[in-house]
Amino acid sequence: MIKNIILNDRAISPTKVVCIGRNYYAHIEELNNEIPAEMVIFLKPNSAISDSISCVGEDEIHYEAELAFLIKDGKIQALAFGLDLTKREIQNQLKAKGLPWERAKAFDGSAVFSHFIEFDGDVDELSLILSINKQQIQQGCVSTMIYKPVQILDEVSRFMSWVDGDILMTGTPQGVGKITPGDFFEGAVFYGDKCLINVHWQVPKDDFKK
């Protein structure tokens, strides 16, 4: 089944989700990773796209809040609040062996998005906040990213084409952690002091096996 995102009540089917890893210094430190010498880029397939948090299975899933952008003509057309869901233990095992991350990052439902809204303002003024169970957990802004969205678009285009409708996820700030049954997620995207997007998700209590 082809997955869609919604913009202006219109369904769009992204061919891929381009993700940036290790794009905030504090997040690199919290996971004891090395600062990369160049941009860390990985992909999620269309089948990873979801509008709800639902991760049935025995693997521990971690949340990573991110600013997400819809791309058209190689430029930013719209934005959303995104969650990059990660099977952290599997990812650590793969990294230790020098293997790709797809098993930990590209599984079905691992790219969760709010609705998208058109955006043509100053990207550097964007920020996000993630709260879980009414407690602020993550906060990040474009100004503290190692690589800014325009830099990412240019670097990716050097070796891979942007197709209209593709999504860019720009990395997560400090504060990632485990999703637990019943968690209430609230994500917000701000433009300066103005809230552009506010989205809520409830994690089903029966999604996780004991």
CATH of the domain at 110: 3.90.850.10
- In whole angstroms, give the CA distance from residue 195 to residue 92: 35
Give the total number of structural domains in the chain. 1
155 vs 176: CA distance, rounded Å: 26
**Secondary-structure breakdown of the chain: helix, strand, coil percentages, each rounded to the nearest 5:** 20, 40, 40
Q: What's the residue count for the chain?
A: 210
User: In this structure, is residue 187 part of a structural domain?
Assistant: yes
Position 18 in a domain: yes
Q: Residue 118 phi/psi, 5° resolution? A: -65, 145
209 domain-assigned:
no
54 occurs within a structural domain: yes
Query: 108, 47 in Cβ contact below 8 A?
Result: yes
CA 44 to chain CA centroid, Å, is 10
Residue predicted with more confidence, 207 or 174: 174
Rounded to an integer, the average pLDDT of 190-195 is 98
State the pTM of this model. Answer: 0.95
Residue 207: the pLDDT is 63
Range of the domain at 107: 5-202
